[in-house]
Amino acid sequence: MKRVLVAVKRVVDYNARIRVKADKSGIDVANVKMSMNPFCEIALEEAVRLKEKKLTEEVVAVTIGVKAAQDQLRTALAMGADRGIHVLTDAELEPLAVARLLAALAQRDEPALFLLGKQAIDGDNNHTGQMLAGLLGWPQATFASKVETDPVAGTATVTREVDGGLQTLRLRLPAVVTSDLRLNEPRYATLPNIMKAKRKPIEQLSPEALGMDVPKRLEILRVEEPPKRKGGVRVASVAELVDRLHNEAKVL
Amino acid sequence: MRAASSYTVPRDPRFAQLEQQDLDYFRSVIGDTGVLTDPDALQTYSIDWMGKYEGKCSVALRPKSTEQVSKILAHCNKRLLAVVPQGGNTGLVGGSTPVHDEVVLSTAGLNRVLSFDAVSGALVCEAGCVLEQLDAHVGGHGFTMPLDLGAKGSCHIGGNLATNAGGLRLLRYGSLHGSVLGLEAVLANGTVLDLLTTLRKDNTGYDLKQLLVGSEGTLGVITAAAIQCPPRPAAVHVAYLAVPSFATVQQVFVRARRRLGEILSAFEFLDRGSLELTLAELDGVRDPLPSSAEPFYLVVETSGSNAEHDYAKLEAFLEEVMEEGLVADGTLAQDSTQVAGIWGLREGISVALRHAGPVYKYDLSLPVGKMYELVEETRARVAGLPCRVFGYGHLGDGNLHLNVSTPRYDDAVQARLEPWIYEWTAAQRGSVSAEHGMGRMKAECIGYSKPAAAVDVMAQIKALLDPNLILNPYKVLPRAALAGNVPAQRMPAAA
């Protein structure tokens, strides 16, 4: 394959403590640590492994968002991507708008494979990869736990994690694949690669340059914290336990 | 000079045996559920975390208030019942378990946070609060506990104070002597010493709480503490570096101090053996640099208020040490999961050693330049014996953790190690216990690091505060020193 494109998203760090804004309009992300979405990291790792196996000539990482998202591109480059594309926008991003931008890039750059994380840990939408495939009219395999490509035959064989177990699909390339947790364990970026990443090229462009806008089609009505978990209680006897389960918790 | 040991100390005949009247009294003070006599339940109180020191406590008590602790101690003092204060029981020198049939006084029931001042960062809590839970509590207000150690999920703050625990961030936040604002403790005769203020500065008289910090439960039982918590750093970065030699390790340290000085928050080292052992023994731990085969690895952490500034400083430092060949390879954690992965590796070493079997642990303060020399000489000294020697520790504090792993506890191995390691350390004017304390393991070893006159003063203080020597006997100070200092008169019982 000539080229694999990987989309990576800047999200709130997996372990960061977050607070809901007082007006319930969203999460307060001021001064919160941001990192690459873990599933995007897995997708990127898979792409880099394909390059190491010489199944693709080039890995291109793409991100859409604010200026600071460049940090995530640098991480992607440090992990082994060859170059980056940064679509700069301060607009709030929704899956359809993102999918349309990625589709425009796919049409422009013609990758054989477009890898994404199955979902982002902020929105948990699990929409973007599927919409992207739909817009492009490409085959898709989501929740991938194993990806094998046959560039000669022009196909990819993907094992998917589904409710009943595992499903294996063969897709004609070009195709869209989204990563699940067990696909791989992303590498630690080594210092020499972190240094080299600073010199790798990042193409910056606006959504307009791709002929797209970033419209707001969804309105968030309310964001609330889940109800606080009540502490456990110690009971003195089995009789008391049964009594409380029956009369208080009403589960017996 | 006596070696440290697992040798049996004879039971002090002055101590009474536990009787029904004692159990009745304890039950009247703390209720039935606080008095444990079931032999199976008592086992966990009688054996240490390493499985090396096992006593047979006659009863374990779980008081819920300082007043209850006071009554218990007054009774034990009157009856001459020996008492072992016990927190999370995570100590590494056998200091928190009974040697014979001592009464175990657990702080597990003293687990309330009393107050937290979100402006000053002063935390006031009972001694049985678990360190990790305290950190989560103050973390919610944007603060952090001023210490961190591998045992954080189980250790009690009272135990931390009693042992003057060091840990991973002493380099940045200093020792507990500096972070403790106040203490409440109960003396052997039941007197409650209320020094529980949250004042940052208080020069009124002798600072008694400093005597209790690090006294390992031999001068009083800490029941509550006030701790100064620093603001939680907004930006934490962790680098894991592969270094070709110990000489270069030292150079990297000097450079890190210079380039990262004000944001450096941890500087740990481990040798290749420690890395390989940890990868082999623990699940869920992975090698951050699988293609590297260097002999030494460093964990360097920065903590600051501005991620961009800190990253720029760290990047400059890393470029410099890489360009000069001081560091062969390394990684910089890209997110909190990678940070946790690198720390999990460093903190996992002692757990891995535990899994691997019996281990002789030495916790030494040495001149940094000499640290690994001792590890190499130890390896040579036990060559031929079925031992593996590991070296790791808080390089930034000059604290080496020298560990010798064996298939079973073996007097022949111990004889090769002790007193030789202590003599070696004494020759460097180092400390035979940097942070773990003396406990039972090194009760006869203080002479390697302190002069006789000092030990004598310590024994006099002990005799003053605990004339019947009921608090944590057989620990910390040598028997000979204590024997020379029991006063003729007993301290009158508390009012």
Question: What Cα–Cα distance (Å) separates residue B174 from each residue in A180, A248, B266, B299, B306?
Answer: 44, 49, 11, 18, 22
Q: Are residues B117 and B133 in the same domain?
A: yes
Q: Identify the domain boundary among B228, B248, B280.
A: B228
B111 at A interface, C-beta within 8 A: no
Which residues lie closer than 8 Å to B368 by C-beta, 6 or more apart?
B250, B253, B395, B398
**Pair of tokens at residue B475:** 């620990």
Which amino acid makes up residue A138? Answer: W
CA-nearest residue of chain A to B306?
A31
- Residues of chain B neighbouring A70 (CB-CB closer than 8 A): none
B408-447 pLDDT, tens digit per residue, is 888 889 999 999 999 999 999 999 999 999 999 999 999 9
Q: Determine, for residues A188 and B307 on separate chains, whether the beta-carbon distance falls below 8 Å.
A: no
Instruction: Determine the pLDDT at residue A19.
Output: 87
Exposed, middle or buried: residue A23 (CB in 10 Å: 0-12, 13-18, 19+)?
A: exposed
Instruction: Determine the pLDDT at residue B454.
Output: 96
Q: What is the DSSP letter of A12?
A: E
Which amino acid makes up residue B319? Answer: E
B197 at A interface, C-beta within 8 A: no
Q: How far is A153 from chain B (nearest CA, A)?
A: 33
B387-406 pLDDT, tens digit per residue, is 999 999 999 999 999 999 99
Residues linked to residue B117 through DSSP beta bridges, in sequence order:
B122
Query: Does pLDDT of B5 surpass 60?
Result: no
> How many other CB atoms are there within 10 angstroms of residue B157's CB atom?
31
Round to whole Å and give the CA distance between B364 and A222. Answer: 57
Q: Determine, for residues B332 and A14 on separate chains, whether the beta-carbon distance falls below 8 Å.
A: no
Q: How many domains does chain B have?
A: 5
- Residues of chain A neighbouring B335 (CB-CB closer than 8 A): 13-14, 33, 35-36, 38, 41
Round to whole Å and give the CA distance between B304 and B236. Answer: 7
Asked whether the beta carbons of A157 and A169 are under 8 A apart, the reply is yes
User: Within a domain: residue B218?
Assistant: yes
**Percentage of chain B surpassing pLDDT 90?**
92
Query: Does pLDDT of B382 surpass 80?
Result: yes
CA-nearest residue of chain B to A34?
B335
Q: Are residues B342 and B367 in the same domain?
A: no
Round to whole Å and give the CA distance between B16 and B35. Answer: 18
Where is A28: in which H helix or E strand? strand A27-28
**Pair of tokens at residue B91:** 């100590």
Q: Are residues B412 and B440 in the same domain?
A: yes
Mean pLDDT to the nearest integer, B314-340: 95
Mean pLDDT to the nearest integer, B258-271: 95
> How many other CB atoms are there within 10 angstroms of residue A149's CB atom?
23
Q: Are residues B441 and B455 in the same domain?
A: no
Query: Does pLDDT of B4 surpass 80?
Result: no
- Residues of chain A neighbouring B288 (CB-CB closer than 8 A): 188
**Percentage of chain B surpassing pLDDT 70?**
96
Q: Determine, for residues B139 and A195 on separate chains, whether the beta-carbon distance falls below 8 Å.
A: no
User: Within a domain: residue B161?
Assistant: yes
User: Within a domain: residue B270?
Assistant: yes
Round to whole Å and give the CA distance between B151 and A185. Answer: 28
Considering CB atoms only, which of A38, A185, A189 is closest to B331? Answer: A189
A230 phi, psi to nearest 5 deg: -80, 145
B2: confidence class by pLDDT, cuts 50, 70, 90: very low
Interface probe, candidates A42, A70, A79, A188, chain B, greatest B C-beta count within 10 A: A188
Instruction: Determine the pLDDT at residue B3.
Output: 34
Q: Determine, for residues B331 and A35 on separate chains, whether the beta-carbon distance falls below 8 Å.
A: no
Query: Does pLDDT of B333 surpass 60?
Result: yes
Task: Write down all domains in chain A, each with its CATH number in brackets.
Answer: 3-247 (3.40.50.620)
Instruction: Determine the pLDDT at residue A231.
Output: 80
Query: Does pLDDT of B194 surpass 70?
Result: yes
CA-nearest residue of chain B to A30?
B234
Q: Determine, for residues A195 and B322 on separate chains, whether the beta-carbon distance falls below 8 Å.
A: yes
Asked whether the beta carbons of B463 and B487 are under 8 A apart, the reply is yes
B317 at A interface, C-beta within 8 A: no
Q: Are residues B277 and B186 in the same domain?
A: no
Instruction: Determine the pLDDT at residue B377.
Output: 97
B114 at A interface, C-beta within 8 A: no
How many Cβ pairs closer than 8 A exist between chain A and B? 58
Q: Are residues B126 and B194 in the same domain?
A: yes
Query: Does pLDDT of B364 surpass 60?
Result: yes
Exposed, middle or buried: residue A22 (CB in 10 Å: 0-12, 13-18, 19+)?
A: exposed
B93: confidence class by pLDDT, cuts 50, 70, 90: very high
Asked whether the beta carbons of B341 and B282 are under 8 A apart, the reply is no
Asked whether the beta carbons of B212 and B305 are under 8 A apart, the reply is no
B351 at A interface, C-beta within 8 A: no
Q: Identify the domain boundary among B76, B106, B136.
A: B106
B429 at A interface, C-beta within 8 A: no
A9-42 pLDDT, tens digit per residue, is 999 999 888 889 989 988 888 878 899 999 999 9
User: Within a domain: residue B495?
Assistant: no
Tell me the CATH number at B80: 3.30.43.10
User: Within a domain: residue B395?
Assistant: yes
User: Within a domain: residue B86?
Assistant: yes
Q: Pairing relation of β-strands A3-7 and A58-65?
A: parallel
Query: Does pLDDT of B488 surpass 70?
Result: no
- Gyration radius of chain A over CA positions: 22
B20 at A interface, C-beta within 8 A: no
Total residue length of chain A: 252
Query: Does pLDDT of B198 surpass 90?
Result: yes
Q: Are residues B65 and B168 in the same domain?
A: no
3-class secondary structure per residue, chain B: CCCCCCCCCCCCCCCCCCCHHHHHHHHHHHCHHHEECCHHHHHHHHECCCCCCECCCCCEECCCCHHHHHHHHHHHHHHCCCEEEECCCCCCCCCCCCCCCCEEEECCCCCCEEEEECCCCEEEEECCCEHHHHHHHHHCCCECCCCCCCCCCCCEHHHHHHCCCCCCCHHHHCCHHHHEEEEEEECCCCCEEEECCCCCCCCCCCCHHHHHCCCCCCCCEEEEEEEECCECCCEEEEEEEEECCHHHHHHHHHHHHHHHHHHEEEEEEEEHHHHHHHHHHCCCCCCCCCCCCCCEEEEEEEEECCHHHHHHHHHHHHHHHHHCCCCCEEEECCCHHHHHHHHHHHHHHHHHHHHHCCEEEEEEECCHHHHHHHHHHHHHHCCCCCCEEEEEEEHHHCEEEEEEECCCCCHHHHHHHCCHHHHHHHHCCCECECCCCCCCCCCCCHHHCCCHHHHHHHHHHHHHHCCCCCECCCCCCCHHHHHCCCCCCCCCCCC
Using alpha carbons, select from B110, B267, B285 the residue that is nearest to residue B186.
B110
First to last CA, chain A: 61
Which residues lie closer than 8 Å to B376 by C-beta, 6 or more apart?
none
**Pair of tokens at residue B225:** 């503490």
Instruction: Determine the pLDDT at residue B484.
Output: 75
B279 at A interface, C-beta within 8 A: no
Considering CB atoms only, which of B234, B307, B336 is closest to A14? Answer: B336
Q: What is the ipTM of this complex?
A: 0.86
B204 at A interface, C-beta within 8 A: no
User: What does pLDDT average to in each consecutive run of 10 residues of chain A (252 residues)?
Assistant: 96 89 88 93 98 96 96 97 97 95 97 97 95 98 97 95 96 97 96 95 96 91 88 85 89 86
B234 at A interface, C-beta within 8 A: yes
Q: How far is B288 from chain A (nearest CA, A)?
A: 6
Among chain A, residues having any CB pair with chain B shorter than 8 Å are: 13-17, 31, 33, 35-36, 38, 41, 75, 78, 185, 188-192, 194-195
**Pair of tokens at residue B483:** 């024997």
DSSP string covering A77-130: HHHT-SEEEEEE--SPP-HHHHHHHHHHHHHHH--SEEEEES--TTT----HHH
Interior angle at CA B239, CA B237 and CA B245, nearest 5 = 155
Q: Determine, for residues A15 and B336 on separate chains, whether the beta-carbon distance falls below 8 Å.
A: yes
Q: Are residues B270 and B341 in the same domain?
A: yes
Where is A42: in which H helix or E strand? helix A38-52
Q: How far is B124 from chain A (nearest CA, A)?
A: 22
B208 phi, psi to nearest 5 deg: -60, -30
Tell me the CATH number at B322: 3.30.70.2190
Round to whole Å and give the CA distance between B388 and B403. Answer: 8
B254 at A interface, C-beta within 8 A: no
- Residues of chain A neighbouring B135 (CB-CB closer than 8 A): none
Q: Determine, for residues B331 and A16 on separate chains, whether the beta-carbon distance falls below 8 Å.
A: no
- Residues of chain B neighbouring A191 (CB-CB closer than 8 A): 239, 241, 318, 322, 327, 329-332
Q: Are residues B211 and B251 in the same domain?
A: no
Using alpha carbons, select from B393, B360, B395 the residue that is nearest to residue B378.
B360
Query: Does pLDDT of B490 surpass 70?
Result: no
- Residues of chain B neighbouring A78 (CB-CB closer than 8 A): 334
3-class secondary structure per residue, A161-230: EECCEEEEEEEECCEEEEECHHHCCCCCCEHHHHHHHCCCCEEEECHHHHCCCCCCCCCCCCCCCCCCCC
Total residue length of chain B: 495
Asked whether the beta carbons of B167 and B149 are under 8 A apart, the reply is yes
Task: Compute the mean pLDDT over every residue in chain B, rounded to the nearest whole number.
Answer: 94
Round to whole Å and give the CA distance between B330 and B316. Answer: 14
Using alpha carbons, select from B246, B295, B256 the residue that is nearest to residue B171.
B256
- Residues of chain B neighbouring A188 (CB-CB closer than 8 A): 240, 288-289, 331, 333-334, 338, 341
CA-nearest residue of chain A to B327?
A191
A65 by DSSP, 3-state: which?
strand
Considering CB atoms only, which of B289, B307, B336 is closest to A188? Answer: B289
Round to whole Å and give the CA distance between B191 and B69. Answer: 10
Q: What is the DSSP letter of A237?
A: S
Interior angle at CA B456, CA B451 and CA B460, nearest 5 = 150
Q: How far is A185 from chain B (nearest CA, A)?
A: 10
B302-312 pLDDT, tens digit per residue, is 999 999 899 99
B7: confidence class by pLDDT, cuts 50, 70, 90: low
- Residues of chain B neighbouring A185 (CB-CB closer than 8 A): 286
B495: confidence class by pLDDT, cuts 50, 70, 90: very low
Residues linked to residue B239 through DSSP beta bridges, in sequence order:
B300, B332
Query: Does pLDDT of B146 surpass 90?
Result: yes
CA A76, A78, A81, A86 dihedral sign is positive
Q: Identify the domain boundary among B45, B73, B106.
A: B106
Question: Cα B203 vs. chain centroid, distance in angstroms?
Answer: 28
B261: confidence class by pLDDT, cuts 50, 70, 90: confident
Q: Are residues B97 and B22 in the same domain?
A: yes
Structural domain including B89 reads 5-106
A246 by DSSP, 3-state: which?
helix
Instruction: Determine the pLDDT at residue B1.
Output: 27
Q: Are residues B179 and B254 in the same domain?
A: no
User: Within a domain: residue B190?
Assistant: yes
Which amino acid makes up residue B186? Answer: V
User: Within a domain: residue B186?
Assistant: yes
Tell me the CATH number at B122: 3.30.465.10
B443-484 pLDDT, tens digit per residue, is 999 999 999 999 999 999 999 999 999 999 999 999 999 987
CA-nearest residue of chain B to A236?
B33
Q: Are residues B299 and B365 in the same domain?
A: no
B486: confidence class by pLDDT, cuts 50, 70, 90: low
Round to whole Å and give the CA distance between B141 and B136. Answer: 9
B493: confidence class by pLDDT, cuts 50, 70, 90: very low
Mean pLDDT to the nearest integer, B150-172: 95
